[in-house]
Amino acid sequence: MNTLVSIISTFAILALAPLFIGAVRKFKAFLGNRRGAPLLTPYRSLATLLRKEMTVSEHTSWVFRAVPYVVLGTSVLVAIFVPTVLASGLATGNLFFIAALLMIGAGALVLGGMDAASAFCGMGSSREMTIAMLTEPCLIVVVAALGVITGSWSAGGVVQTLASAPWWLAHPFLVFTLAAFAMIVLAEGARYPVDNPTTHLELTMVHEAMVLEYSGPYLAMLEYASMLKFAVLALFLANLVVPYGILGAGASLVPGIVIFAAKFIVVAFLTALLESMVAKMRFYRLQEYFTTAYLLAFFGLILSLIF
């Protein structure tokens, strides 16, 4: 039964990822006093791309064609091993393994942009490597802090440990780790203030620049992978902040589904609120952003080791 629930929960998050992005866009439109596109627009966009013909430059190699499968595969694996709906079953991936999957996906996307032999794609790949170089140390320190504080190195075990007692009482220094992780989630999801997910301007392109040469089903795979990664990481962060109502961590089926739906809506709204309040940072100021994230994560790790 646990295996069946685990499989169903995995397919649920795979299916709901575009809806999460649609909800973020709808809330942003609402906060901007606009009507906005329908919630199901991301599904329609993906379906349209899947029907379109692909145009591949003659200057590309097999790397260009392999990248969408690698990026999508790593995102799906992250969705399987990260507890969003269920904290047991398949969602027992090692934290360092999950971090490695994120790095592999980012590295593959960079190679795809470079292989396209395009000025824009090369620029986006260069910027993405700079961001990855700043993000990965922060991510490793966050993973180390979560493992030290909870005594578990699996994502499901971390959530179950935090659900067993209020972390703000048992592990108050976790607040620094969670703040750093929130900053990393925005970077990994190519969201404000690190990146602009809707830009078509050269000065602000990072993720969009790397996928400029992709079209048709390849572009659909990359866009879906980006949606899935951000939705999974954002909901995982929500489960760390409020580790209650998660299936496999003391919650029954119906309350667990209701609480998951509430987290889904609240996280989408908070993402839209943040993006409506802040502007994208200048690229050369991102080092300040990631230095802050690293110091918060490191501070949380040191305090957890001392106390």
Full DSSP string of 229-255: HHHHHHHHHHHHHS--S-BTTTB-HHH
149-171 residue pLDDT tens: 888 888 888 888 888 877 777 78
pTM above 0.75, yes or no: yes
Q: How far apart are CA 88 and CA 274, in angstroms?
A: 31
Contacts of 242 (CB under 8 A, 6+ apart): 263
Q: How far apart are CA 88 and CA 81, in angstroms?
A: 9
Predicted local confidence at residue 25, as pLDDT = 93
Structural domains of the chain, count: 1
Q: Please report how many Cα atoms fall inside a 13 Å half-sphere around the Cα of residue 198, on the Cβ side.
A: 9
Predicted local confidence at residue 238, as pLDDT = 93
Contacts of 204 (CB under 8 A, 6+ apart): 195, 196, 280
Determine the average pLDDT of the residues in 75-91.
80
Q: Check if the beta carbon of residue 177 is closer than 8 Å to that of residue 291.
A: no
Determine the average pLDDT of the residues in 66-70.
95
Predicted local confidence at residue 234, as pLDDT = 94
Is the alpha carbon torsion for 269, 45, 60, 209 positive or negative? negative
279-307 residue pLDDT tens: 888 888 888 999 999 999 999 889 888 87
Query: For residue 17, what pLDDT band results from cuts at 50, 70 and 90?
Result: very high
Cα dist from 99 to 155, 163, 245, 251, 287, whole Å: 11, 22, 25, 27, 20
Determine if residue 90 is left, alpha or beta; phi over 0 gives left, psi from -120 to 50 gives alpha, anything else beta.
alpha
Q: Which domain holds residue 128?
A: 2-306
Does residue 249 surpass a pLDDT of 70?
A: no
